[in-house]
Amino acid sequence: MANLLGNLTQQRLTESAVDSAEISTALFASENPQKNEHHALNYAIIVHCFFDGQKNLDDLNEFQLLAKSAQAEILTVITGSRSSPQAKYFVGQGKAEEIADAVKQYQADLILVNHTLTPAQARNLESLCDCRVVDRNGLILDIFAQRARSHEGKLQVELAQLKHLATRLVRRKTGLDQQKGAVGLRGPGETQLETDRRLIKVRINQLQNRLEKVAKQRNQNRQTRQKADIPTISLVGYTNAGKSTLFNLLTAANVYAADQLFATLDPTLRRLSLKDVGTTILADTVGFLRDLPHDLISAFKSTLQETTEAALLLHVVDCADPRKLENIEAVNQVLEEIGAQDVPRLLVYNKIDQLENVTPHIEYDEKHQPSAVYISANSADGLELLLEAIRVRLTDYILQFPLQLSPSEGKIRHALYELNCVEKEEISEYGEFLLSIRLEKTEWLKLVKRFPTLEAFNPI
């Protein structure tokens, strides 16, 4: 974040309202450079409030993992209980003073708050504690900025960061007025705060235009796969559930995988050949999290589009996590936000090697379709069962059947060839078209709706 506006202008940002030492969400912009020469971490104090009298430590533990993923060294954790957030400091006057005392005692560089703060609350807490304050959204954005590797990923992260930063510009004491030094041009001029807002707005428009071009390219590639009748399988799940490890196991790819939150960020597509299905595309997506910032969901819209257009979702679940049911619900909420709630999905319970008396197996629903598979991506136990479950689900998704058309049904024949789903064609002695069809179930339902006469041949 400290270098975001440096890409926009060469103006003297030392007097800027977006000075990195004050409001950057990047954790490495320390106010004490000499201190950080000896270590790559930021010394942080974590703040967490319990509301409604429920002291659930799981959210706090997850936030500590986020802080460690951002390379922050946790000095102490300060907790408190409130019925509702306070308007000025979020945590209350007494607790805010306790945090300020802890900053002095531990010589902390950073305060990490496991809640979403308003710009005023963050600014008030910074002034009281004389220390940078980063809320939950800012921490997640910082982790994404560290992990982005592809050009598209960097654009998406920068867009989300700028939207977050735009509401957090603060006025400095000096250097606000930018005056011209010529006759007729002297006066108050444009303040640096206004300049920063304008530059951020311009940069956001540039990034949105670039991402629109990327989205068009992704859409073209997606349409090409659809015309070639290549189904897409998308991996989704809570962060650190083992998606990238499973992706590497299925495709022999070399995607970075580690036991940390948001180990991988950039989406990856690989070919996967399945028996009775043929070539498919397996997509590895970014992990989901509770209260994922909406700016991130908006910025990653083109990437998450792969999920909404998938033929099957593999919902990877860490079955060793005591909060697995809550994690499943959190992922379902994000899928609903991006419009993928109706896409068929298969639950993949991963990490059974961390449980006792659990062996690889498949669970079936009332229609005798695979609904869940228990595996260990780390040891490859249950891989054959997973491939078999995917094959069954996609075999049901791909329809193969003969179709007979009269000579007068040329429009239907033309529509089938446009979909590239005709595998073989013969003409009978009566001039009828005898076709062998292979296409997706959704495309067939669209054809039936478009040409009602096809209902007589409905293979479903």
Tell me the pLDDT band of 13, cut-offs 50, 70 and 90: very low
Whether pLDDT at 307 is above 60: yes
Higher pLDDT, 82 or 224: 82
Same domain, 249 and 379: yes
Binding residues for Mg(2+): 244, 264
Does residue 225 register a pLDDT over 90? Answer: no
From 134, 162, 197, give the residue that closes a domain.
134
Domain that holds residue 367: 228-396
Same domain, 317 and 339: yes
The enclosing domain of 428 has a CATH number of 3.30.70
pLDDT for position 184: 55
> Dihedral of the CA atoms 383, 386, 388, 393 (nearest 10)?
-160
Give the chain's domain count.
3
Is residue 123 a part of any domain in this protein?
Answer: yes
Say whether pLDDT at 102 is over 90: yes
pLDDT single digits (tens) 283-306: 887 777 776 766 666 666 656 766
Amino acid at 59: D
Q: Are residues 446 and 383 in the same domain?
A: no
With bands split at pLDDT 50, 70 and 90, how would you rate the model's confidence at 314?
Answer: very high
pLDDT at 359: 92
Report, in angstroms and rounded to the nearest whole number, the Rg of the chain calculated over CA atoms: 27
The pLDDT, as a whole number, for residue 228 is 61
292 and 306 co-located in one domain: yes
In this prediction, residue 372 carries a pLDDT of 94
Binding residues for GTP: 237-244, 262-266, 284-287, 350-353
Residue 88 counted as domain residue? yes
Partners of 361 in the beta sheet?
374
Strands 433-440 and 398-405 turn out to be antiparallel
Lowest mean pLDDT among 25-34, 246-255, 367-376: 25-34
Report yes or no on 260 lying in a domain. yes
Nearest to 459 by CA among 398, 371, 390, 377: 398
Cα four-point dihedral sign 155, 158, 162, 164 = positive
Specify whether 367 is located in the same domain as 340. yes
Q: Which of 15-24, 55-64, 256-265, 435-444 has the lowest mean pLDDT?
A: 15-24
The percentage of the chain sitting over the pLDDT mark of 70, rounded to a whole number, equals 76
Domain closes at, from 68, 100, 134:
134
Question: Which residues are paired to 86 by β-bridges?
Answer: 90
Confidence of residue 213 (pLDDT cuts 50, 70, 90): confident
Known binding-site positions: 237-244, 262-266, 284-287, 350-353
Same domain for 404 and 354: no
Q: Is the pLDDT of residue 409 over 70?
A: yes
pLDDT in tens, 144-189: 777 776 677 788 778 888 887 777 776 554 444 555 555 555 555 5
Average pLDDT over residues 1-28: 39
Which of 171 and 459 is assigned the larger pLDDT? 459
**Do the strands 177-178 and 190-191 form a parallel or antiparallel pair, or are they unpaired?**
antiparallel
Q: Are residues 371 and 410 in the same domain?
A: no
3-state secondary structure the chain: CCCCHHHCCCCCHHHCCCCHHHHCCCCCCCCCHHHHCCCCCEEEEEEEEEECCCCCHHHHHHHHHHHHHCCEEEEEEEEEEECCCECCCECCHHHHHHHHHHHHHHCCCEEEECCCCCHHHHHHHHHHHCCEEECHHHHHHHHHHHHCCCHHHHHHHHHHHHHHHHCCCCCCCCCCEECCCCCCCCCCCEEHHHHHHHHHHHHHHHHHHHHHHHHHHHHHHHHHHHHCCCCEEEEEEECCCCHHHHHHHHHCCCCCCCCCCCCCCCCEEEEEEECCCEEEEEEECCCECCCCCHHHHHHCHHHHHHHHCCCEEEEEEECCCCCHHHHHHHHHHHHHHCCCCCCCEEEEEECHHHCCCCCCEEEECCCCCEEEEECECCCCECHHHHHHHHHHHHHHHEEEEEEEECCCCHHHHHHHHHCCCEEEEEECCCCCEEEEEEEEHHHHHHHHHHCHHHHHHCCC
CATH, residue 382 = 3.40.50.300
Q: Check whether 238 has a pLDDT greater than 70.
A: yes
Give the mean pLDDT of 122-140. Answer: 89
**Cα-based torsion angle of the residue sequence 198, 189, 23, 103 in order, rounded to the nearest 10 degrees:** -170
Report the mean per-residue pLDDT for the chain. Answer: 78
Structure confidence by residue, pLDDT tens digits, 45-98: 999 988 876 777 878 888 888 888 888 899 999 998 888 888 999 988 999 999
pLDDT at 328 over 60: yes
- For residue 343, the model assigns a pLDDT of 85
* CB-CB contact of 99 with 67 (8 Å): no
Residue 92 lies in a domain: yes
Of 219 and 346, the one with more pLDDT: 346
Together in a domain, 52 and 80: yes
Residue 72: predicted pLDDT = 87
